[in-house]
Structure 1
């Protein structure tokens, strides 16, 4: 039975899009008969997550999955700190390899994971798959922690390119990332796509509408019927374009006076967005909930008629497909999203959802108003969205894409001879 050791920035019990994709991949691979484990880097312990380090025994069990940990922290100026982190993480991977003896290392971005895994893979002649979920230099620009063209930006991009050139196979989550790598001169034959997906086995019937919660939030009209609700559930980063969504509310109310906006989540832009909403003429129609426990999220999805994803146009949003629209479709929600590249890979306008011009509150309002006024289209949109997820983004199907990648590198001896010192 083939053993796959996944090399990860962080994992469960932390909850994030990154960890949920990881969980889905590992669970689905288990279902195919692979033996799988994960090993996380020093950032897991730096996050403050509650776990027990135990690399000498069988690792740490989280939701039926085993993870090895890399203890310790690193410090130093940019550049030196990253090399120290790679060295420390390589020690953690070495310990997991010695204890479990995997057949394949499958490293997931960022590039620090890939470089640490590459060191160990070449030392032990283990084939390496490197999977890119986003270009982290662009993600840092998008979330406000980095600046395009800075030393850190250029270093991260250089590290990424180096791992891509030396890995035995490369996987990306979408066509945008693959096309960008090919434009940098990489061989298309070495780059596969394993798209973002959801584990449909985790989704049963959508949760029923909580009428008490709806009344508490003011989502009920004077005659007792429900208000139409636009929802966003996720992280409040600048690139998500939530300021455009709030700016669209006055125009939306002009056509749909009873419409409401539900904002669930938090992040760096939370305070500024709340201030913007309070100053808006639509303030009475906007509700902020803050972060909620993961098991309560379905209660808020159940209140929403349309889930809105107004991402701003940038390298990050044009190249990377998000997970949230797929989760919404899986829960039979109608999706309205800006027409950035990452959304266009997921949503077919007028079929599985609706697309509107990015960075344009007026266009956002018009599209949302059209959807609320055309309720007769809702059943078809919901059914098409759910069908699209089932056919193209269910992990039970998507995980089989890795089988070809694994088979190809296991039958090749290219990994046995290192071509570059790392």
Structure 2
């Protein structure tokens, strides 16, 4: 008898067959959260996992979105109308979610709909994995909402304590959450980078010249949303101080957001590209000389990692996320955001010393090689499987499983 060997890839671990993912953002806006989740869903589907994605959307979403999509009712987020918050769940959506019969529930946003999804999982004894993407409490002061800090932290303690696994992007973020009393069953789920896509090989002198950057002028680049909580106005402060010291340089700002007009007024004559993606984004990174990132509200810092993979030394504010990626003095500089003079001096040091830039950029590229997406995404599948065993540790289940043993 002739034996036929299947060509189908056999998974390394017994992965769940159906995953229900809820996120407050998935296809209506392009940011680190949506790109990460879409990549995860694509990976799961390529391994035979059926994924139902429940998320708010808009009439003209920016992304096509991977997976089977179920739109959720939502309202604009306070102070940030480009983002959405899931609200109460209508009967039709509830039926679609429950009839899907997921093996694992993945909640990426702890809003009202995220809470309902989490509660449903607990009632039905379904493993619940949550990923911590956004440090909401750090945003409050930028919108004069400090009075909400205490009740928000209390709610987040409640929410994450009821999930089987809480996946956080970095150890520094776990430490910060611990200071706030948010100490669920934490695991580190970092982010990856496509080191072929983001690479120094995409550098283009012609492209720089097309932007008006003269040969030999250091191009200092920021990539990200143009919003208050990214501390983007620090770019203008450093730019002015470099001008006072007569340090040749050019700033390039890649991204969009409500603060663009104000920042352009502060940075006359500098380059604003708007939102870039794909090969254009990769070329923008690689054609730069220094990556500048003043945000202190990141949970990981995807753009920092993309800059490192592109061979750029970084000047970053000390913050969760960036502090786990940048090796101070080797791949770039880490400085408290309030130390503007020191940040300026470090930027100047890189701007005037091409040998230092090259050395730190090479180190950064080598460090980025440690963050490959295949490994990162497989780790989440392992967490899904681990969460299945964590159900036995839920307080209401301990007596049941002890009796069955």
Normalising by structure 2, what TM-score? 0.80
Counterpart in the other structure of 1:168: 164
Structure 2 equivalent of residue 207 of structure 1: 202
1:181-235, Cα deviation, whole Å (9 max, x unpaired): 43454556x1111123324464466423151x43343211xxxx34211111221
Aligned to 1:87: 88
Following superposition, the deviation at residue 270 of structure 1 comes to 1.7
Which of 184, 192, 200 in structure 2 is aligned with 1:197?
Answer: 192
Matched residues in 2 for 1:349 and 1:414: separation? 40
Q: Cα distance, 1:383 vs. partner?
A: 2.5
Q: Which residue of 2 aligns with 1:235?
A: 225
Distance in structure 1 (CA, Å) of the matches to 2:276 and 2:194: 21
Report how far residue 254 of structure 1 moved.
5.1
Cα deviation for residue 264 of structure 1 reads: 2.2
Corresponding residue of 2:288: 304
Q: 1:58 is matched with which residue?
A: none
Shift of 1:303: 3.0
After the TM superposition, which residues 5-404 of structure 1 pair with which residues of structure 2 at under 5 Å, given as runs? Answer: 5-12=20-27, 14-30=29-45, 33=47, 35-41=49-55, 43-44=56-57, 47-50=58-61, 62=64, 65-73=66-74, 85-88=86-89, 92=93, 94-99=95-100, 101-142=101-142, 144=143, 147-150=145-148, 153-185=149-181, 190-200=185-195, 202-203=197-198, 206-209=201-204, 211=206, 213-220=207-214, 225-253=215-243, 257-278=247-268, 284=269, 286-292=270-276, 295-311=279-295, 316=297, 320-391=299-370, 393-404=371-382
For structure 1, list consecutive stretches of 5 or more residues without a partner in the other structure.
Answer: 52-60, 78-83, 279-283
Query: For 1:220-260, what per-residue CA distance to the aligned partner results, in whole angstroms no more than 9, with x for missing partners?
Result: 1xxxx342111112211223222222122243245564311
1:293, distance to aligned residue in structure 2 (A): 5.3
Return the offset for 1:417. Answer: 4.6
Shift of 1:288: 2.6
* 1:115, distance to aligned residue in structure 2 (A): 0.7
Instruction: Write the deviation string for residues 84-103 of structure 1: whole angstroms up to 9, x where unpaired.
Output: 9553178636413413x321
- Sort the Cα spacing of 1:378 and 1:290 in 2 relative to 1 into closer, same or farther, 3 A: same
Relative to structure 1, the CA distance from residue 85 to residue 275 in structure 2 (aligned partners, 3 Å threshold; closer, same or farther) is: closer
Q: Residue 7 of structure 1 contacts residue 93 of structure 1 at CA under 8 Å; is this kept in 2?
A: no
Tell me the TM-score normalised to structure 1 length.
0.77
Q: CA deviation at 1:300?
A: 2.5
Cα distance in 1 between the residues matched to 2:329 and 2:245:
20
Gaps of at least 5 residues in structure 2 are 1-14, 79-84, 399-405
1:410 aligned onto 2:388: yes
Q: Distance in 2 between matches of 1:87 and 1:155?
A: 20
